[in-house]
Structure 1
Amino acid sequence: MSEEINHFILTLNSEDGVHKNTIISYKYDINQFNNFIKKKKKTFKSIIRKDILNFLQSLKLKNVKPKTKSRKMFALKRFYKYLMSERIIKNNPMEKIENYLKIPKTQDTPSISLSADQIKKILEFVSKKTNDYKDIRSNLIIELLYSTGIRVSELISIKTNNIDLQKKNILIDPPEKGKSRKERIVFFAEQTKEVIEKYLEFRKIYFKEKDSPWLFPSNNTNDFLTRRRVLQIMHNLADKIKIDKNLMHPHSFRHAFGNHLLNSGADIRVVQKLLGHSSIMTTQRYTEHRDKLIETIENFHPLNKNNENIV
Structure 2
Amino acid sequence: MRAAAAIETFLEMMSAERGAAQNTLDSYRRDLEDAAGFSLATGVQLTFAEPGTIRSYLDEIAGRGYAATSQARRLSALRQFFRFLYMENIRTDDPTSTLDTPKKDRSLPKILSEPDVEKLLARAEVETLDEELSDAGHLQALRLHALLEILYATGLRVSELVGLPVTVARSDGRFLMVRGKGSKDRVVPLSGKARDAMARYLAVRDTRPDLSASVWLFPAISESGFLARQVFARELKGLAARAGLKASVISPHVLRHAFASHLLQNGADLRAVQQLLGHSDISTTQIYTHVMEERLHQLVTEHHPLAD
Q: Same fold (TM over 0.5)?
A: yes
Residue 172 (1) aligns with residue 168 (2): no
Cα shift at 1:160: 2.2
The amino acid across from 2:80 in the alignment is R
Q: What is the rounded CA distance, in whole Å, between the counterparts of 1:262 and 1:45 in structure 2? A: 46
Q: What is the rounded CA distance, in whole Å, between the counterparts of 1:178 and 1:28 in structure 2? A: 22
Q: What is the rounded CA distance, in whole Å, between the counterparts of 2:232 and 2:65 in structure 1? A: 23
Which residue matches 2:53?
51
Q: Give the match's secondary structure for 1:15.
A: helix
Structure 2: runs of 5 or more not aligned: 129-135, 277-308
TM norm structure 2: 0.65
TM norm structure 1: 0.65
Q: What is the rounded CA distance, in whole Å, between the counterparts of 1:55 and 1:235 in structure 2? A: 37
Cα shift at 1:116: 3.6
Which residue matches 1:147?
153
Q: What is the rounded CA distance, in whole Å, between the counterparts of 1:36 and 1:236 in structure 2? A: 41
Which residue matches 1:208?
210
Residue 187 (1) aligns with residue 196 (2): no
Q: What is the rounded CA distance, in whole Å, between the counterparts of 2:263 and 2:22 in structure 1? A: 34
Q: What is the rounded CA distance, in whole Å, between the counterparts of 2:162 and 2:109 in structure 1? A: 21
Residue 113 (1) aligns with residue 111 (2): yes
Cα shift at 1:114: 0.6
Which residue matches 2:294?
none
Structure having the larger proportion of residues in helix? 2
Which residue matches 2:303?
none
Q: Which of structures 1 and 2 has the larger relative contact order (alpha carbons within 8 angstroms, sep 6+)?
A: 1
Q: What is the rounded CA distance, in whole Å, between the counterparts of 1:150 and 1:213 in structure 2? A: 19
Q: Give the match's secondary structure for 1:71.
A: helix
Q: What is the rounded CA distance, in whole Å, between the counterparts of 1:52 and 1:210 in structure 2? A: 52
Q: 8 Å contact 1:231–1:250 — kept in the other structure?
A: yes
Which residue matches 1:73?
75
Q: What is the rounded CA distance, in whole Å, between the counterparts of 1:12 and 1:150 in structure 2? A: 23
Q: What is the rounded CA distance, in whole Å, between the counterparts of 2:261 and 2:10 in structure 1? A: 43
Q: 8 Å contact 2:168–2:177 — kept in the other structure?
A: yes
Identical-residue share of aligned pairs (%): 23
The amino acid across from 2:120 in the alignment is I
Cα shift at 1:218: 5.5
Structure 1: runs of 5 or more not aligned: 281-311
Q: What is the rounded CA distance, in whole Å, between the counterparts of 2:57 and 2:240 in structure 1? A: 33
1:163 aligns with one of 169, 173, 190: 169
Q: 8 Å contact 1:157–1:214 — kept in the other structure?
A: yes
Aligned residue pairs total 265
Question: Superposition pairs for residues 174-253 of structure 1, below 5 Å?
Answer: 174-175=179-180, 177=182, 179=184, 183-190=186-193, 192-204=194-206, 208=210, 211-217=213-219, 219-222=221-224, 224-225=226-227, 230-231=232-233, 234=236, 243-245=246-248, 247-253=249-255
Q: Give the match's secondary structure for 2:74.
A: helix
Q: 1:92 to 1:16 in 2, by over 3 A?
A: closer
The amino acid across from 2:103 in the alignment is I
Q: 1:198 to 1:249 in 2, by over 3 A?
A: same
Q: What is the rounded CA distance, in whole Å, between the counterparts of 2:6 and 2:18 in structure 1? A: 21
Q: 1:258 to 1:86 in 2, by over 3 A?
A: closer
The amino acid across from 2:104 in the alignment is P
Q: 8 Å contact 1:12–1:23 — kept in the other structure?
A: yes
Q: Give the match's secondary structure for 1:173.
A: strand
Q: What is the rounded CA distance, in whole Å, between the counterparts of 1:84 and 1:154 in structure 2? A: 34
